[in-house]
């Protein structure tokens, strides 16, 4: 291999104008686009934090700018009014458990659908796909009746299974796609070495499917964390409720406490962003450094 | 295609090693937990919802069987539904196209080894983490005709004639909401494509460079074909989201107004179900929408199947 | 690593999952169900004051009724989720005795679906404690389904007094005055009237005003329409809708209002970009707290030209208390006793008094004193009529909201708008609607 010493070049945008533009200019263009795109996605976050530190009058008279005074008290009040202490705990428990159940159950099923041949496979997959196309708004009241009949209304377990169950189809679908895009040679080697399917799945396939698992975890985790409607109808006892149900406390019949609402949102959104940063390093970077060198 | 051959390859390995019954047994065991959860929390509610679509039911009194009247009414008497279907289709086509093209474009940009790339990857994903309530307020204020950022910006660059009340104007209201949806989800699709890009073996590009392929050729001959599975998933997810998961955004932005200009099927459905207590009628609407989505999705899958992605 | 994280999080979460048991109570417990977080005593007062007064009032009730061990008051959820929360509570067989029932869903949904008990006879002995107009808001077909326990509102224009003085403008009295004022404001670079048009439920309030003047007696005409004795497409009805469009065409009401939300409207007013806005007297606490840079005032909706009627502003009591139709025999007397207790003037003075009301649904409650309050009480309240959307079924109300948006946006004519409303009504009748049921 004559080129082995050469550093592999990451794939970039097509340099259609490479003849005319120097690399430096191209890089400048890339940065310009990225910076513009970033400003319009990151400013809302600042806007939220600005809002959380304003007085009401400041918010209404100075909509877009930074706060004129720093009202840290907003955070204290928001924490108390939304009862965030208990609710953050509930949200963490419910989100973590739902993701755990969802990821374990759906990844195993998705793997079977992606790799194994068995009678009924196609039919099961089509049914799963079809259930994704029914708007959840239609099934929510019937689902309520099912949950009531099972006697798991008003419990964290109930909501965990509702979340995991209703996200199952999406997750299976997504993971199946990721499993299918993984080259199966490694699995075949492990199978030849005498490992069984579950072992292959656990030790060989799952580590390779990290981007897929991360995508499901991020997408569904965000959904569970922010989910309002299902939590609203399935958890009726205040002590068991999640964050979004507490955020309702800032809205009154004829007004809303936007500054406190922003303070509460800042407190619950920023940890999510930190988590995402951690996860994306772990999953996406981990992958490129690791296994796929077929 | 590659995935095709390898799936067949792995199957042949199994066939040598295990008796047929055992192989199937393990597959069914792997499927069982998922199937149980799906039956209880998804299939039974769907069947029950389908049953309700033939009834008149307000949730408080007993359901009254009325045959197909809900479906007939939907087609013959409900003008808003027809408008909502049109809007939903416009919404779906726009967001599917733009989210994916833009998502791929951004993924290519942040897949480079440049300084601060982690920061950009994170920043571009931020809108996904924001709740709909805050997005609704933010964008209503951006579009606000008196103090909104958008009109101020247009004035600044001398496009005074473009200034309008974006969400009030019949010509722009739906487009304004579509923009917000794209804004919120492009980062998610970027992450999907990024994961896909990262799994493409580097040496393919090396060989191509040695052969003197231009960047454009590398994009169209290597990147896009190898991204096909991810693209397929990304498109199907955005298609699905645009049809059956656009309620919250439209609700916080306009709730279907002004005068049904931005009404989509789901806002109409929720109004019927939860404001008017027509749960049976809303069910019928949901299943009618299902037929539309299923036809589009399965057509897409059939096309995809003949290409890169296979069952 | 993945596996370890999974297992750890699973175990961690599971140990935390213990569900607290509910302590058993001796004696009768009265259950008050609030479909939204606002359905509690003194809901518009600051949270800590509200909680304190609620406790005080309930303790008073418990002291008087030793056979009642406790009152469980469960009021949660967003305003637009009230019907859903009540529906799911009903489906779940949740215990409800008293229901906190806002006037709007009570008239639009609860009564029609049979959720509420007819309490006409239960409250007969003390029904004269209520202002008759307020009680009307809970009376359907001559039967009473709830007691009004609420501050009473009316509607008004709120304006920037400093700006008016600076431009030499007076409060407009007639419609023509208003046109002149709007022209002067527009000339000076201000938006004359910016309305919170994105909040669709606010639009019918304009219709209540115009209908009161084009119909004479808009309540009677509405009831006739709903009984099928007259039509929404009759001339006075069409005229009322057309007059709203007139506000836009004459440059008073900004067409861009359609996409402005509550906070957008208030923000434009507070930052002196718009000069006037329209709303209920529930705006007062917000204005007092947030309009700091200038003096503000109120004036009435103007008298229109060439109409048979006089001014009639929408107003009424927002909330009240009802009894669940599925209430047990054991709970019923306690529920009635609780309503009776809440409506005593000295008790109402506590839980209504903390909201600093302009007027209240219960007689003998202390009201707030100020120049603006006096102005509103002596000029606006005498010209106040019941909100029509407390008579319309929800479907009709929604049809009005859409039609008015269409008129304001200039996309439909008044005839088309009213025809669409009549269509919705015909559909309701087709589905078995009847006003007197």
Q: Split chain A (294 residues) into runs of 10 and give each run's mean pLDDT.
A: 44 52 80 91 89 86 86 92 90 94 95 89 90 88 93 91 94 87 81 82 84 83 89 89 87 81 90 79 49 36
- Say yes or no to pLDDT of C387 above 50: yes
Same domain, A67 and A82: no
| Cα nearest neighbour of A279 on chain C | C2
Phi and psi at residue C360, in whole multiples of 5°? Answer: -135, 165
Q: Among the CATH numbers 3.40.50.300, 3.90.226.10, 3.20.20.70, 3.40.190.10, which is that of C154-315+393-430?
A: 3.40.190.10
Same domain, A87 and A191: yes
Question: Tell me, what's the pLDDT at B11?
Answer: 46
**Top-confidence residue, C359 or A272:** C359
Question: Tell me, what's the pLDDT at A14?
Answer: 54
Segment B148-164 mean pLDDT: 83
In our burial notation (b when 16+ CB lie closer than 10 A, e otherwise), range C78-100 reads bbebbbbbbbbbbbbebbbbbbb
Residue A60 tokens, joined: 């209404």
Instruction: Tell if the CB–CB gap between C2 and A210 is shorter than 8 Å.
Output: yes
Instruction: Tell if the CB–CB gap between C89 and A236 is shorter than 8 Å.
Output: yes
Query: How far, in Å, CA of A87 to CA of C289, rounded?
Result: 30
Instruction: Tell which C residues from 338 to 367 touch A, by Cβ distance under 8 Å.
Output: none
Instruction: Tell which C residues from 118 to 137 touch A, by Cβ distance under 8 Å.
Output: none
Query: How far, in Å, CA of C194 to CA of C188, rounded?
Result: 15
Neighbouring C-beta atoms of residue C427, cutoff 10 Å: 15
Q: In what order do the strands lie in the sheet with C313-317?
A: C152-153, C313-317, C384-386
Residue B42 lies in a domain: no
- CB-CB contact of A267 with A76 (8 Å): no
Question: Tell me, what's the pLDDT at C417?
Answer: 95
Contacts of A141 in chain C (CB under 8 A): 87-88, 91
Question: Tell me, what's the pLDDT at C18?
Answer: 37
Query: Which residues have C-beta within 8 Å of that of residue B185, sequence separation ≥ 6?
Result: B95, B99, B127, B128, B238, B241
Same domain, A256 and A275: yes
List the single best residue of A27, A29, A41 to mutate versus B (max B Cβ within 10 A): A41
3-class secondary structure, C253 = strand
Q: What is the pLDDT of residues B238-287, one digit of tens each?
A: 988 888 888 989 998 888 878 899 999 999 999 999 888 899 999 999 99
Domain termination residue (choose one: A15, A46, A71): A71
> Residue A69 burial (CB < 10 Å; 0-12/13-18/19+)?
exposed
Residue A267 lies in a domain: yes
- Say yes or no to pLDDT of C7 above 60: no
**Best CA proximity match to B88, nearest among B168, B13, B174, B152:** B174
- CB-CB contact of B304 with B231 (8 Å): no
Tell me: cis bond preceding A293? Omega within 30 of 0 counts.
no
A-B interface: how many C-beta pairs under 8 angstroms? 316
B140 in reach of chain C (CB within 8 A): yes
Nearest Cβ partner of A206 from C2, C38, C79?
Answer: C2
Question: Tell me, what's the pLDDT at B22?
Answer: 65
Instruction: Tell if the CB–CB gap between C2 and A236 is shorter than 8 Å.
Output: no
Query: Which residues have C-beta within 8 Å of that of residue B302, sequence separation ≥ 6?
Result: none
Question: Tell me, what's the pLDDT at C27?
Answer: 83
Least confident interval from A170-174, A207-211, B122-126, C389-393:
A207-211
Phi and psi at residue A269, in whole multiples of 5°? Answer: -90, -40
Residue B37 lies in a domain: no
- Give strand pairing partners of C158: C277, C298
Helices assigned H by DSSP within C203-357: 203-215, 218-227, 235-249, 262-270, 284-290, 331-342, 345-351
Domain of B102, in residue numbers: 77-306
Instruction: Tell if the CB–CB gap between B167 and C264 is shorter than 8 Å.
Output: no
Same domain, A134 and A192: yes
Query: How far, in Å, CA of B281 to CA of B262, rounded?
Result: 21
The length of chain A is 294
Q: What is the tally of structural domains in chain B?
A: 1
To the nearest whole number, what is the mean pLDDT of chain A? 83
Instruction: Tell which B residues from 212 to 241 touch A, by Cβ distance under 8 Å.
Output: 214-216, 218-219, 222-223, 229-230, 232-233, 236-237, 240
List the single best residue of A201, A233, A258 to mutate versus C (max C Cβ within 10 A): A233
Domain ranges of chain C: 27-151+318-369, 154-315+393-430
Instruction: Tell if the CB–CB gap between C83 and B77 is shorter than 8 Å.
Output: no
Domain termination residue (choose one: A42, A71, A100): A71
Question: Tell me, what's the pLDDT at B23?
Answer: 63
Which residue in this structure is represented by tokens 């295990």?
B18
Same domain, A62 and A82: no
- CB-CB contact of B46 with A139 (8 Å): yes
Residue A15 lies in a domain: no
Residue B298 belongs to domain with CATH number: 1.10.3720.10
Q: What is the pLDDT of residues B209-238, one digit of tens each?
A: 888 888 888 888 888 888 887 888 889 889
Architecture of domain C27-151+318-369: 3-Layer(aba) Sandwich (3.40)
**Distance, in angstroms, between C110 CA and closest chain B CA?**
10
Residue A11 lies in a domain: no
- Say yes or no to pLDDT of B135 above 60: yes
C27-151+318-369 and C154-315+393-430 in the same fold = yes
Is the Cα torsion angle B302, B305, B307, B309 positive or negative in sign? positive
Question: Tell me, what's the pLDDT at B222?
Answer: 86
Q: How far apart, in Å, do the first and last CA atoms of chain C sit? A: 66
Q: Are strands C147-148 and C152-153 parallel, antiparallel or unpaired?
A: unpaired
Nearest Cβ partner of C286 from A207, A213, A255?
Answer: A255
Query: How far, in Å, CA of A134 to CA of A141, rounded?
Result: 14
Same domain, A156 and A248: yes
Query: How far, in Å, CA of C265 to CA of B106, rounded?
Result: 37
Instruction: Tell which C residues from 196 to 255 touch B, by Cβ distance under 8 Å.
Output: 197-198, 200, 254-255
pLDDT band at C416 (very low <50, low <70, confident <90, very high): very high
| Cα nearest neighbour of A249 on chain C | C37
Same domain, A90 and A54: no
Domain of A48, in residue numbers: 23-71
Same domain, A241 and A214: yes
**Distance, in angstroms, between B290 CA and closest chain C CA?**
24
Q: Quick one: CA torsion of C37, C43, C45, C46, rounded to 10 degrees?
A: -20
pLDDT band at C38 (very low <50, low <70, confident <90, very high): confident
Question: Tell me, what's the pLDDT at A20?
Answer: 55
Residue A178 lies in a domain: yes
Residue A13 lies in a domain: no
Nearest Cβ partner of A252 from C13, C17, C44?
Answer: C44
3-class secondary structure, C432 = coil
Least confident interval from B108-112, C42-46, C155-159:
C42-46
Segment C350-372 mean pLDDT: 90
Chains in touch with A (3+ beta-carbon pairs under 8 Å) read: B, C
Contacts of A232 in chain C (CB under 8 A): 77-78, 81, 84-85
Question: Tell me, what's the pLDDT at B16?
Answer: 52
3-class secondary structure, C71 = strand
- Give strand pairing partners of C75: C34
DSSP C145-178: --EE-SBEE-EEEEEEHHHHHHTT-----BHHHH
Residue A126 lies in a domain: yes
Nearest Cβ partner of C77 from A144, A155, A248?
Answer: A248
B198 in reach of chain A (CB within 8 A): yes
Residue A176 lies in a domain: yes
Q: What angle do CA C343, C349, C354 make, to 5 degrees?
A: 120
Least confident interval from A264-273, B153-162, C63-72:
B153-162
- Give strand pairing partners of C277: C158
Same domain, A85 and A105: yes
Instruction: Tell if the CB–CB gap between A181 and B229 is shorter than 8 Å.
Output: yes
Residue A8 lies in a domain: no
Q: In what order do the strands lie in the sheet with C98-102?
A: C68-75, C28-34, C98-102, C319-323, C147-148
Residue A211 tokens, joined: 């981007």
Same domain, A61 and A149: no
**Best CA proximity match to B58, nearest among C209, A121, A229, C428:** C428
Q: What is the pLDDT of residues B72-112, one digit of tens each?
A: 999 888 889 999 999 999 999 999 999 999 999 999 998 88
**Best CA proximity match to C315, nearest among C141, C162, C199, C153:** C153
- CB-CB contact of B188 with A219 (8 Å): yes
Residue A155 belongs to domain with CATH number: 1.10.3720.10
3-class secondary structure, C329 = coil
- Say yes or no to pLDDT of C166 above 80: yes
List the single best residue of A56, A98, A100 to mutate versus C (max C Cβ within 10 A): A100
- Say yes or no to pLDDT of B10 above 90: no
Least confident interval from B196-200, C191-195, C306-310:
B196-200
Question: Tell me, what's the pLDDT at B7?
Answer: 43
A47 in reach of chain C (CB within 8 A): no
To the nearest whole number, what is the mean pLDDT of chain B? 85
Nearest Cβ partner of A156 from C2, C17, C92?
Answer: C17
Q: Quick one: CA torsion of C103, C108, C114, C115, rounded to 10 degrees?
A: -40
To the nearest whole number, what is the mean pLDDT of chain C? 89
Phi and psi at residue A111, in whole multiples of 5°? Answer: -65, -45
Query: How far is CA A94 from its chain centroid?
Result: 14
Q: What is the tally of structural domains in chain A?
A: 2
Query: How far, in Å, CA of B125 to CA of B268, rounded?
Result: 30
**Top-confidence residue, B98 or B169:** B98
Q: For chain B, what is the radius of gyration of the CA atoms?
A: 24
| Cα nearest neighbour of A77 on chain C | C47
Question: Tell me, what's the pLDDT at B129?
Answer: 81
Contacts of C201 in chain A (CB under 8 A): none
Q: What is the pLDDT of residues B13-71, one digit of tens each?
A: 444 555 566 668 888 888 999 999 999 999 999 999 999 999 999 888 899 999 999 99
Same domain, A205 and A224: yes
Contacts of C91 in chain A (CB under 8 A): 141, 144-145, 148
- CB-CB contact of A164 with A98 (8 Å): yes
Contacts of C267 in chain A (CB under 8 A): 59-61, 63
> Residue C148 burial (CB < 10 Å; 0-12/13-18/19+)?
buried
Query: How far, in Å, CA of C399 to CA of C420, rounded?
Result: 7
Phi and psi at residue A36, in whole multiples of 5°? Answer: -60, -45
Predicted ipTM?
A: 0.83
């Amino acid at each position: 291999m004559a080129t082995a010493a050469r550093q592999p070049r990451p794939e970039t945008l097509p340099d259609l104008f490479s003849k005319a533009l120097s690399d430096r200019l191209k890089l400048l263009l890339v940065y310009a686009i990225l910076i513009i795109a970033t400003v319009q996605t990151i400013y809302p976050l600042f806007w939220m934090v600005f809002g959380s530190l304003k007085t009401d009058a400041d918010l209404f008279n100075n909509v877009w700018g930074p706060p004129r005074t720093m009202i840290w008290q907003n955070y204290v009040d928001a924490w108390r009014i939304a009862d965030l202490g208990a609710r953050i705990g509930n949200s963490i428990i419910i989100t973590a458990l739902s993701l755990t159940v969802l990821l374990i159950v759906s990844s195993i099923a998705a793997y079977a659908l992606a790799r194994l041949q068995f009678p009924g496979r196609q039919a099961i997959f089509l049914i799963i796909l079809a259930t994704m196309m029914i708007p959840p708004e239609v099934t929510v009241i019937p689902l309520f009746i099912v949950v009531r009949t099972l006697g798991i209304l008003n419990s964290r377990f109930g909501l965990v299974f509702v979340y995991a169950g209703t996200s199952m189809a999406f997750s299976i679908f997504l993971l199946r796609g990721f499993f299918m895009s993984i080259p199966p040679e490694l699995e075949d080697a492990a199978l030849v070495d005498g490992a069984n399917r579950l072992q292959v799945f656990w030790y060989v396939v799952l580590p390779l499917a990290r981007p897929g698992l991360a995508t499901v975890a991020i997408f569904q985790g965000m959904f569970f964390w922010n989910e309002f409607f299902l939590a609203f109808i399935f958890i009726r006892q205040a002590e068991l409720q999640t964050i979004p149900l507490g955020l309702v406390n800032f809205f009154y019949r004829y007004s809303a406490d936007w500054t406190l609402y922003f303070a509460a949102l800042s407190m619950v959104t920023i940890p999510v962003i930190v988590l995402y940063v951690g996860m994306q390093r772990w999953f996406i970077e981990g992958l490129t450094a690791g296994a796929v060198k077929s | 295609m590659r995935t095709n051959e390898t799936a067949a390859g792995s199957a042949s390995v199994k066939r040598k090693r295990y008796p047929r019954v055992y192989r199937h047994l393990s597959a069914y065991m792997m499927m069982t937990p998922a199937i149980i959860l799906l039956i209880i929390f998804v299939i039974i509610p769907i069947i029950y919802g389908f049953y309700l679509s033939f009834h008149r039911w307000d949730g408080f009194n007993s359901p009254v069987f009325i045959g197909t009247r809900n479906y007939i009414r939907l087609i013959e008497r409900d003008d808003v539904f027809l408008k909502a279907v049109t809007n939903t289709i416009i919404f779906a086509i726009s967001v599917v196209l733009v989210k994916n093209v833009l998502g791929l474009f951004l993924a290519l940009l942040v897949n480079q080894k440049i300084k601060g790339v982690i920061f950009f990857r994170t920043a571009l994903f931020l809108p996904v983490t924001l709740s709909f309530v805050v997005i609704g307020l933010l964008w209503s204020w951006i579009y606000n005709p008196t103090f909104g950022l958008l009109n101020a910006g247009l004035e600044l660059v001398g496009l005074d004639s473009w200034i309008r009340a974006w969400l009030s104007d019949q010509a722009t209201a739906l487009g304004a909401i579509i923009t917000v949806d794209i804004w919120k989800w492009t980062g998610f699709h970027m992450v999907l494509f990024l994961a896909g890009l990262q799994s493409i073996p580097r040496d393919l590009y090396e060989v191509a460079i040695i052969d003197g392929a231009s960047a454009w050729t590398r994009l169209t001959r290597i990147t896009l074909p190898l991204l096909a599975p991810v693209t397929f998933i990304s498109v199907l997810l955005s298609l699905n989201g645009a049809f059956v998961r656009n309620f919250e955004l439209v609700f916080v932005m306009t709730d279907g107004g002004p005068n049904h200009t931005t009404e989509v099927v789901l806002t109409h459905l929720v109004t019927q179900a939860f404001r008017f207590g027509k749960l049976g009628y809303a069910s019928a609407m949901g299943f009618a929408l299902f037929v539309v989505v299923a036809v589009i999705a399965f057509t897409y899958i059939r096309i995809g199947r003949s290409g890169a992605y296979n069952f | 690593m993945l596996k370890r994280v999974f297992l750890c999080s699973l175990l961690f979460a599971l140990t935390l999952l213990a569900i607290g048991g509910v302590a058993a109570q001796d004696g009768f417990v009265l259950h008050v169900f609030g479909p939204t977080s606002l359905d509690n005593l003194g809901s518009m007062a600051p949270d800590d004051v509200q909680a304190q007064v609620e406790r005080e009032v309930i303790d008073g009730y418990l002291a008087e009724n030793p056979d009642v061990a406790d009152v469980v008051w469960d009021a949660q959820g967003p305003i637009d989720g009230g019907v859903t929360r009540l529906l799911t509570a009903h489906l779940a067989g949740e215990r409800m005795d008293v229901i906190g029932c806002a006037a709007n869903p009570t008239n639009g949904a609860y009564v029609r679906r049979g959720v509420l008990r007819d309490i006409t006879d239960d409250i007969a002995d003390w029904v004269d404690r209520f202002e008759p107009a307020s009680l009307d808001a809970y009376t359907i077909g001559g039967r009473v389904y709830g007691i009004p326990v609420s501050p009473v509102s009316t509607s008004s224009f709120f304006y920037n007094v400093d700006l008016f003085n600076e431009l030499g403008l007076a409060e407009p009295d007639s419609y023509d005055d208003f046109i002149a004022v709007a022209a002067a404001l527009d000339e000076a670079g201000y938006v004359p009237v910016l309305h919170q048009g994105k909040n669709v439920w606010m639009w019918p309030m304009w219709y209540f005003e115009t209908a009161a003047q084009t119909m004479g007696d808009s309540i009677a005409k509405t009831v006739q329409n709903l009984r099928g004795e007259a039509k929404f497409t009759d001339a006075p009805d069409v005229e009322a809708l057309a007059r709203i469009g007139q506000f836009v065409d004459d440059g008073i009401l900004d067409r861009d209002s359609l996409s402005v939300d509550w906070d957008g409207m208030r923000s434009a007013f507070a930052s002196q970009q718009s000069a006037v806005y329209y709303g209920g007297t529930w705006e007062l606490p917000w204005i007092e707290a947030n309009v700091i840079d200038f003096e503000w005032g109120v004036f009435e909706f103007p008298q229109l030209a060439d109409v048979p009627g006089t001014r009639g502003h929408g107003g009424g009591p927002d909330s009240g208390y009802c009894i669940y139709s599925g209430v047990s025999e054991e709970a019923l007397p306690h529920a009635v006793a609780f309503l009776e207790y809440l409506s005593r003037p000295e008790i109402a003075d506590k839980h209504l008094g903390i909201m600093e009301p302009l007027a209240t649904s219960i007689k003998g409650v202390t009201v707030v004193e100020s120049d603006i309050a006096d102005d509103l009480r002596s000029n606006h309240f005498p010209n106040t009529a019941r909100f029509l959307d407390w008579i319309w079924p929800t479907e009709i109300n929604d049809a009005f909201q859409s039609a008015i948006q269409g008129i304001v946006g200039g996309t439909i004519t008044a005839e088309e708008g009213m025809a669409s409303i009549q269509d919705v009504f015909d559909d309701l009748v087709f589905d078995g609607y009847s006003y007197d049921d």
